[in-house]
Amino acid sequence: MCDKSSNYVRGQKSAIISAMPVRKSLPEAVGQLLIMGFDGTVLTDSVRAMLRDMQPGGVILFARNIETPRQTHALLKDIQKELEVRPLLCIDMEGGTVDRLKNAIGPAPSAQEIARSARRELFREHGRVIGAEVCALGFNVDFAPVLDLRFDASLSVLGSRTVSPDPKATTIYAREFLRGLKESKVLGCGKHFPGLGEGTLDSHHALPVVRKPFKRIWDEDLVPYRDLARQLPFVMVGHIAYPEVTGDEAPASLSRKWITDILRKRIGYKGLIITDDLEMGGVLAALPIEQAAVESLRAGANIYLVCHQEERVRACYEALLHEAEKDSRFRGHLLDSAAHVRRVKLRSPELTRRFPASPTDAAIDKLRQRLWLLGEEARMAANAIAVEA
């Protein structure tokens, strides 16, 4: 499956980006702060040119990019060959409704299904087996687990993606899931800070606005982030507004109050902060995408996501480069963020491991069996609890 060697970093350079002259390092820094998506199951000439020109820090694949295990592995390997610095190879794999590999490998149970078992060993196995399948194809980052609370307001939007209205129960599941991912040599990500649990709108299409005082948010939605601050390699900031906290209806993904003042300073989070996809309606309702990219990084994010349209990916890259060239303070922030990204890439065993060999049919069959068995064990445990009740 995945090679556990941690001594391989393709294209490693002799000095981190912040130590290089500004003119040389600025385009590289801007590239390192981008995770991009694209259409297709192979690299087109235009996407290949974008990878070579912009040298993004990472790439994210969706179901539209994935047909078979071997095709996905070959695509990721091809992407990596175009990039000088080892990339973040990302996927959203939660199980249930957000399962990019269900057609290529097999369906994974949802967080809610696993949580109903009330068995911590299954929580960890959920992360372990999802980590094993994404690692086998070449991914090194899984944008999971979801830390949003299971409030009634968001059930129609989030469904089985959430675990419990109890923040402590959510933390217990997430901690074990993250441990399972780590055992499979994959980095996880808590999302969607500061919490979509009381949002009634889908941020893919519109901006949820929640009028909730900070004390309740601190005691509820933020508990998983507070408790897991040292275990989360990434935190993804969502497109949701809390006007009673910020005094306006700007999404958290563009808010210095949320990203720098609360997540970075008050909670003390030291990992990488990434925005949710800037092509989503929840943020485009506030600003054009190029401005959103600038403002998200100005607010304190380290990395931004643009997941689909090639012209938008290029527009954001050019906007950041232009802003950094004219604003020295912003340029300094970009260089610092790029250095932070580089350090994580150099220090994380999950990112320095050797790219895995193409998965065999036997290995994929074994993963299918593990997924099925996990689902069956979770269902039996949940049924036993229901009978006892």
| Residue that is written with structure tokens 């690299």 in the block | 43
Catalytic one among 126, 276, 277, 340? Answer: 276
Dihedral sign of CA atoms 48, 50, 341, 238 in order: negative
261 counts as catalytic: no
Whole-number Å distance between alpha carbons of 165 and 307: 30
Is residue 3 part of the annotated active site? The answer reads no
Q: Do the beta carbons of residue 91 and residue 143 sit within 8 Å?
A: yes
For the chain, where are the alpha helices, taking DSSP H only?
Answer: 22-32, 45-54, 69-81, 111-115, 120-137, 155-158, 167-183, 214-219, 223-227, 243-246, 256, 281-284, 289-298, 310-326, 328-347, 349-352, 361-388
Residue among 78, 74, 115 nearest 95 (CA): 115
| From 39, 53, 152, 204, the catalytic residue | 204
Count other C-beta atoms under 10 Å from residue 1's C-beta.
16
Cβ 378 vs Cβ 114: under 8 Å = yes
**Cα separation, 334 vs 339, whole angstroms:** 9
Q: Nearest CA to 254 among 278, 234, 232, 233?
A: 278
The catalytic residues are: 204, 276
